[in-house]
Amino acid sequence: MTTTLPARSPATATGPTQSGRPARNSGATTTARWALSRVVGAAFVLWSVATIAFFALRLVPGDPVDALLGGPGNNATEEVRQQTRELYGLDQPVLVQYAAFLAGLLRGDLGQSYQLRQPVAQVLGEQVGNTLLLAALALALAWALALGLALWSTRPGRTAAVVASVLEIVSAAVPHFWLGTILILVFSVNLQLLPATSGAPGVEGLILPVVTLAVPLAGFLGQSMRESMLTAMHSPFALSARARGEAETGVSLRHALRHAALPGINLSGWAFGSLISGAVVVETVFARPGLGRTLLEAVTVRDVPVVLGVVLLIAAVYVVVTLLSDLAERLADPRLRDA
Amino acid sequence: MTQTFPVTEASAPVTSPTPHPPRGPRRRRFGPAVAIPATVVTVLAVAAIAPALLAPGDPLAMEPANAFAAPSLQHWFGTDESGRDVFTRVIHGSRDSLSIGLLATVIGVGLGLLLGAMAGWGSRAVDFGVNRVLEVLFAFPNLLLALLVITILGPGVVTTTLAVGLSTAPGYARMIRSQVRAVKQSGYVEASIVQGRSRWFIIRRHVLPNVAAPLFILATLGVGQAIVWASSLSFLGLGATPPAPEWGAMLSAGRGYMSIAWWITLFPGLFIVLSATATTVLGHSLQQKLKEMS
């Protein structure tokens, strides 16, 4: 996975020397073989995540039967307890339960929520859309903010760069829960422009949560996008573009922008993770239904199947996003293809 | 949180020689970019170690008659719903908030060092194995791993610290691994091997000094994020709990009174931003210095 830059940098460093010689394999075959190995790797990661999550959550203290029967203070008879145990397969050996769990996963069956008495898959299915919408909008906004800032700050002169860098560092340091609270205070309580809770349908309810989620991410993305863009603006190809008489705007838009986008693509998997983590907080602050809040509630009452389900779902999406972002990076950066 | 990526560029080889000399006038040894955040960090450290120096009052002392007092000369940051002085609480809160962030970073760096050194210095098989472990750990993004740990161990300050530390470890491990790899393949290590130096000598003499500086910087940058995440967990009610004056918990408690007393939520949050910004700027400046020195 290429969420961090060092893993990528050797390839980048050797890229230019290799790209000069004619490629022995056609690019398509290399990419296909690379993609295949990545898919196998991703499958391995998912299986490991499922296994770790399954066994880790068995360490949760307390008898799951108690949780199923309404908490430790229940007055269930031993007979009822035994029936519950059999119903949920809890009387089986661990390995049998593990096998059943894996088999269930393949069928898309994530078990039954202790708390909500619903299949976990159904609970998640109801919530995942809300969170993905929130995360996707926030990602788009963060990209726009970060790229805009990067483009603006590479203008000649030191002031722009300093302002941009201060903006990025401060926004990366802002905790979601505080930003969200302050935004509610300003825009809902004082100005009464936007709703504080986003339970209601409509676009207005989405604005504050999306901004809250996007700003810290934009700060992070902006830092590496700007650095990458600056390097590009000082590189020989930018110089030769200028020598051809291209305007500074043209150089930054046509040549450097692609470089600024690279770390953004490279970090998509990471960004997704941070958005989902942020969603836990943002959905709580704005009382917005979604995966994050479902997860938080499940953690608080130790609803193990739901925690397990959310963890697996997020890990799966994360792995897919990382895979896609690596592929997109190869498409955007020809130097990586021969490496 | 885990992969504080901007830092990782420090470990990346400088790809192209800079055609221009550094812009602007010659740099002083330590400019304002180091001095200001260093001062802020020092003040915060004093607040954490000896809060009574800055705020002599009792952070838990209630004065119900004086609840929801707006910021004034007497109560700089106002008072909360029980008439407790918010300034005193924020200052005293730096102990919990900062020590959780710092300890979590220490745990993350320690684990990262262990894994990263194993992968970087070990055989191909070890490297492969550790890399797979890291890949799996990365699939639990940030808060997710922390929440998993909290589900198992139950909420609380100790768990939060451990959880945040664990979830930052893979990021450190990856950076240390690539750094150790780079040193291992360098000419001077090869020369040392030819000279018949012991493995321990090489690690002590060459690997550690080369890893220490970037690791220190990465940790400095990481502390800020650890503070933010730990306070987020407290805000969610999974870490420090009221009436303890922890910033995230204070903010969470103050949220209910937002429309009548904004100061209860504003100031603890400002201190989180301040400490995270200060450590980040400090880390970046040190990183820049390191780049210039090499």
pLDDT band, residue B108 (cuts 50/70/90): very high
Tokens of A218: 């934009």
CA distance B292 to B294: 6
Segment A104-118 shows an average pLDDT of: 81
| B108 and A256 Cβ atoms separated by less than 8 Å | no
Provide the ipTM: 0.77
**CB-hemisphere CA count at 13 Å for B23?**
6
Give which of A213, A189, A319, A327 is closest to A276, Cα–Cα. Answer: A213
In angstroms, the Cα distances linking A333 to A76, A235, B18, B123, B132 are: 63, 16, 22, 31, 25
Are the CB atoms for B257 and B81 separated by under 8 Å? yes
Judged against a pLDDT cut of 90, whether residue B107 lies above it is answered with yes
Express each pLDDT in B179-194 by its tens digit.
888 888 888 888 888 8
The minimum CA-CA distance between A83 and chain B, rounded to whole Å, is 26
A89, two tokens:
């397969």
Contact: B18, A234; criterion CB under 8 Å: yes
What is the number of CB-based contacts under 8 A between chain A and chain B?
184
Residue carrying the six token digits 């829960």: A177
Distance CA A37, CA A326 (A): 12
Contact residues, chain B, for A6 at CB < 8 Å: 8, 11-12, 174-175, 178-179
Q: Dump pLDDT digits (tens) for B125-183.
A: 888 888 888 888 888 877 888 888 888 888 888 888 998 998 889 888 988 888 888 88
Is the separation of the CB atoms in B67 and B80 below 8 Å? yes
CB contact under 8 A, B5 and A224: yes
Residue from A219, A195, A198 nearest A282 by CA = A198
Inter-chain contact B141–A270, Cβ cutoff 8 Å? yes
Residues A193 and A186: their CA atoms lie apart, in Å, by 9
Interval A250-263 mean pLDDT? 76
CB B230 within 8 A of CB B158: no
Nearest CA to B169 out of B138, B127, B147, B144 is that of B138
**Given this model, what pLDDT does residue B106 score?**
93
What's the whole-model pTM score?
A: 0.78
φ and ψ at residue A89, rounded to 5 degrees: 70, 20
Compute how many other C-beta atoms are within 10 angstroms of the C-beta atom of residue B15.
Answer: 13
Surface-to-core class of residue B216, CB atoms within 10 Å of its CB (0-12 exposed, 13-18 middle, 19+ buried): middle
Instruction: With a cut of 90, say whether residue B105 has pLDDT above it.
Output: yes
Cβ atoms within 10 A of the Cβ of B198, count? 10
Render pLDDT for B253-288 as a digit per residue (tens, 0 to 9): 888 787 777 888 888 888 888 888 888 888 888 877
DSSP state of A21: S
Selecting from A4, A59, A224 the residue whose C-beta is nearest the C-beta of B174 gives A4
Cβ atoms of A156 and A258 within 8 Å: the answer is no
Residue A86 token pair: 């059999």
Task: Report the percent of chain A where pLDDT is more than 90.
Answer: 5
- A160-184 pLDDT, tens digit per residue, is 888 888 888 888 888 888 898 888 8
Cβ separation B9–A227 shorter than 8 A:
yes
CB B8 to CB A299 under 8 A?
no
| φ, ψ of residue A174 in degrees (nearest 5) | -80, 125
A311 → chain B, closest CA residue: B144
Question: Which tokens in the block code for residue B235?
Answer: 């805000």
Residue in this structure with the two tokens 């987020």, named with its chain if needed: B232
> Taking the CA atoms of chain B, what radius of gyration do you get in angstroms?
22
Say whether the peptide bond before residue B243 is cis (omega within 30 degrees of 0): yes
Amino acid letter, A58: R
User: Across the interface, which of A45, A57, A263 has its CB nearest the CB of B151?
Assistant: A57
